[in-house]
C-alpha cells in the first residue's frame, strides 16, 4: 500500500499527541528508557506534508539482504562502470551504521519533481536558435537536459525541507531526537528502501514507481532514534509491459531491474569522465545531460502531477535544454562553475559537458555547428578536441558512411 498524506483535522492531531503521551507513560511504567521515544507515524507524515514532501513512509533500519546481494553481483559484473563509490558498499554501510547504534526508524521521503516544460524559458527564446525557411525554430543546436536537473539542485532543495521537518518533529517531542539526513550520497539503497517503506515498487527500468506520481519522485531519508511503526512494503509489478526496455536507445536495460550503467546515457553524460565509446555516440541523440526516455515512456508516467516545488522547475534553473553553441564560450572550469552554480548540472565538469555538446552537435545534422566545432579543435581539453573531431566528421560525411564507420570502431 502506498503511504500518502490524508487530510487531517484538529481532532485527529490532538488524538496523536494523546497517543504519544500515553505510550511514553507506558514506557516509564515499564522502566524503558525515554530517549527519543515513540511518535505516531501519521503525525510524521502530516509534518512531512507541511514542509512540502509529497509522499512519506516508514521502515526499520535493518539490512536489505536481497538488494545488497544484487548490488554486489552487479558490481562484480562491472556494470557500475567507473562509479567506484558503489564498489565497497557493504563496508561503507557497516561503517555508516556504526555511527547510529540507537537508530530505530528510517523516514523515507518522496518529492515530486514533474513539471511540463518551459517553452517560454528565457534561455530558449534567445541566442542561436536556428530558424527554417518558414521562420519556425529548429532548435538543432539545443541539447536536452533530463527533467531532474531543470531547476535548482535537488540536493539543496531537499536538504532545506528535511531541516524544516527535523525542527517540526523536534517541536512535537519532549525528548531530544537524533537525526541523520541522506539524499543520494550515503550508503543507502534508496529505491529498495522506498519500496520497503511502501512508497511504490521498482520498475523494470529500475526506478521507483509511485502509483500517485509515476517515476518522478526524488527520494531522501531521515534516520532517527524515534520509534515509529513501519509501513507495509509495496507489492506491485510492471506485469507484461516492456516499453522501457524497448525504448532505451542504448539497450542499457538488460532485463527487468538490471541496468548496465556503462551503456546508460545518464551515466555516460553525467558520471563518466572519459571518452564516450564511439558506437554509443549516435545513440545519445540530443541528450546533453542525463536521459528520461525510459521514464517518459512508462505508463505510470500518465500519473504525473505538476510538482508543487517551484525551485525544481525550469525557471529556477536552465530548464529543458542548453544552447550548445553558447556552451563553447565557457573557457575555464571556474567560469563553468559560476554559470551552473546551484544546479545539478555542476555534477559534470566543463570538459564533460562540452564533450556531450560535441556529440549532440554531431548528431544534429545542423551545419551551423561546424565553425564552433572547428574552434573546439583547439580547446585546452583533449577530451573536447577528440569529440569535436568526431562531430565534424559526422557533420561533414554522408550519413551512411559515417554510421558504418562509427559502428565499426570503439571508444
Q: Cα–Cα distance between 11 and 298 in angstroms, integer?
A: 40
Catalytic residue among 184, 231, 251, 260: 184
Find, among 375, 369, 328, 323, the residue nearest to 145 by Cα: 323
**Which segments within 154-204 are labelled E, that is strand?**
179-182, 201-202
Inter-residue contact 376 to 388 (CB < 8 Å): yes
- Compute the least distance from the CB of residue 23 to ligand B12, in Å: 32
Asked whether position 112 contacts ligand B12 by CB under 6 A, the answer is: no
Q: Which one among 44, 222, 228, 248 touches ligand SF4, defined by CB under 6 A?
A: 248
Asked whether position 293 contacts ligand SF4 by CB under 6 A, the answer is: yes
Q: Which one among 143, 192, 198, 319 touches ligand B12, defined by CB under 6 A?
A: 192
Residue nearest to ligand B12 (CB): 290
- Compute the least distance from the CB of residue 72 to ligand B12, in Å: 9
- Degrees to nearest 5, angle at CA 236 with 52 and 225: 50
Sign of CA dihedral 128, 351, 342, 159: positive
Asked whether position 266 contacts ligand SF4 by CB under 6 A, the answer is: yes
Q: Cα–Cα distance between 32 and 30 in angstroms, integer?
A: 5
Q: Which is nearer to ligand SF4, 308 or 407 (CB)?
A: 407
Question: Which of ligand SF4, ligand B12, none does residue 83 bind (CB under 5 to 8 Å by kind)?
Answer: ligand B12
Residues 219-238 interacting with ligand SF4 (rule: CB under 6 A): 238
Asked whether position 52 contacts ligand B12 by CB under 6 A, the answer is: no
Question: Which of ligand B12, ligand SF4, none does residue 203 bind (CB under 5 to 8 Å by kind)?
Answer: ligand SF4
Helices 350-364, 382-396: axis angle to 10 degrees equals 0
Beta carbons within 8 Å of 345's beta carbon, 6+ residues apart: 145, 149, 289, 317, 318, 353
Task: Give the interface size with ligand B12 as a residue count (CB under 6 A).
Answer: 40
Asked whether position 300 contacts ligand SF4 by CB under 6 A, the answer is: yes
Q: What is the C-alpha radius of gyration for the chain, rounded to an integer number of angstroms?
A: 24
Q: Cα–Cα distance between 231 and 59 in angstroms, integer?
A: 6
Inter-residue contact 268 to 404 (CB < 8 Å): no
Q: Which one among 243, 278, 316, 370 touches ligand SF4, defined by CB under 6 A?
A: 243
Q: Cα–Cα distance between 276 and 287 in angstroms, integer?
A: 13
Q: Which one among 112, 205, 269, 363 touches ligand SF4, defined by CB under 6 A?
A: 205
Task: Give the three cell numbers for residue 163.
Answer: 531541516
Inter-residue contact 167 to 311 (CB < 8 Å): no
Task: From 62-70, 227-235, 355-363, 376-384, give the range in contact with ligand B12 by CB under 6 A.
Answer: 62-70
Residue 184 falls in the annotated catalytic set? yes
Task: From 117-125, 292-300, 345-353, 377-385, give the range in contact with ligand SF4 by CB under 6 A.
Answer: 292-300
> How many other C-beta atoms lie within 10 A of the C-beta of residue 239?
8
Task: Give the three cell numbers for residue 225.
Answer: 532514534
Name residue, grid cell 566543463: 350
Find, among 161, 181, 279, the residue nearest to 224 by Cα: 181
Question: Which of ligand SF4, ligand B12, none does residue 300 bind (CB under 5 to 8 Å by kind)?
Answer: ligand SF4
Q: Which is nearer to ligand SF4, 240 or 410 (CB)?
A: 240
Which residues are tagged catalytic? Answer: 184
* Binding residues vs ligand B12 (CB under 6 A): 66-67, 70-71, 74, 83, 86, 146, 148, 183-184, 188-192, 202, 205-208, 215, 217-220, 257-259, 261, 264, 266-267, 270-271, 290-292, 294-295
* Binding residues vs ligand SF4 (CB under 6 A): 203-205, 238, 241-244, 248-250, 252-253, 259, 264-266, 291, 293-294, 297-300
Amino acid at each position: 500500500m502506498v503511504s500518502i498524506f490524508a487530510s487531517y483535522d484538529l481532532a485527529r492531531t490532538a488524538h496523536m499527541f494523546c497517543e504519544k503521551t500515553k505510550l511514553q507513560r507506558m514506557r516509564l511504567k515499564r522502566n524503558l528508557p525515554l530517549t527519543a521515544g515513540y511518535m505516531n507515524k501519521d503525525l510524521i507524515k502530516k509534518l512531512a506534508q507541511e514542509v512540502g514532501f509529497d509522499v512519506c513512509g516508514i521502515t526499520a533500519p535493518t539490512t536489505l539482504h536481497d538488494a545488497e546481494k544484487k548490488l554486489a553481483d552487479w558490481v562484480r559484473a562491472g556494470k557500475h562502470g567507473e562509479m567506484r563509490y558503489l564498489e565497497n558498499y557493504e563496508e561503507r554501510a557497516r561503517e555508516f551504521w556504526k555511527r547510529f547504534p540507537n537508530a530505530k526508524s528510517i523516514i523515507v521521503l518522496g518529492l515530486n519533481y514533474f513539471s511540463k516544460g518551459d517553452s517560454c524559458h528565457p534561455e530558449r527564446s534567445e541566442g542561436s536558435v536556428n530558424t527554417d525557411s518558414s521562420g519556425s525554430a529548429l532548435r538543432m543546436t539545443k541539447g536536452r537536459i533530463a527533467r531532474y536537473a531543470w531547476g535548482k539542485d535537488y540536493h539543496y532543495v531537499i536538504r532545506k525541507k528535511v531541516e524544516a521537518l527535523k525542527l517540526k518533529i523536534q517541536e512535537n517531542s519532549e525528548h531530544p531526537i537524533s537525526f541523520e539526513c541522506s539524499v543520494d550520497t550515503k550508503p543507502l539503497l534508496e529505491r529498495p528502501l522506498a519500496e520497503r517503506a511502501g512508497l511504490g515498487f521498482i520498475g523494470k527500468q529500475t526506478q521507483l514507481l509511485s502509483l500517485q506520481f509515476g517515476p518522478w519522485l526524488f527520494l531522501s531519508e531521515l534516520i532517527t532514534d524515534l520509534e515509529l511503526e513501519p509501513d507495509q512494503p509495496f507489492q506491485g509489478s510492471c506485469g507484461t509491459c516492456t516499453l522501457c526496455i524497448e525504448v532505451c536507445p542504448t539497450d542499457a536495460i538488460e532485463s527487468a531491474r538490471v541496468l548496465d550503467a556503462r551503456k546508460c546515457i545518464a551515466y555516460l553524460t553525467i558520471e563518466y569522465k572519459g571518452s564516450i565509446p564511439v558506437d554509443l555516440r549516435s545513440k545519445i541523440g540530443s541528450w546533453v545531460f542525463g536521459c528520461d526516455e525510459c521514464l517518459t515512456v512508462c505508463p505510470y508516467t500518465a500519473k504525473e502531477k505538476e510538482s508543487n516545488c517551484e525551485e525544481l522547475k525550469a525557471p529556477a534553473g536552465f530548464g529543458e535544454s542548453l544552447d550548445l553553441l553558447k556552451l563553447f564560450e565557457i573557457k575555464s572550469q571556474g567560469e563553468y562553475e559560476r554559470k551552473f552554480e546551484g544546479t545539478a548540472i555542476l555534477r559534470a565538469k566543463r570538459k564533460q559537458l562540452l564533450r556531450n555538446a560535441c556529440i549532440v552537435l554531431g548528431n544534429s545534422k545542423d551545419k551551423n555547428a561546424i565553425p564552433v566545432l572547428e574552434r573546439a579543435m583547439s580547446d585546452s581539453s583533449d577530451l573536447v578536441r577528440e569529440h569535436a573531431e568526431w562531430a565534424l566528421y559526422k557533420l561533414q560525411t554522408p550519413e551512411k558512411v559515417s554510421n558504418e564507420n562509427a559502428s565499426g570502431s570503439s571508444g
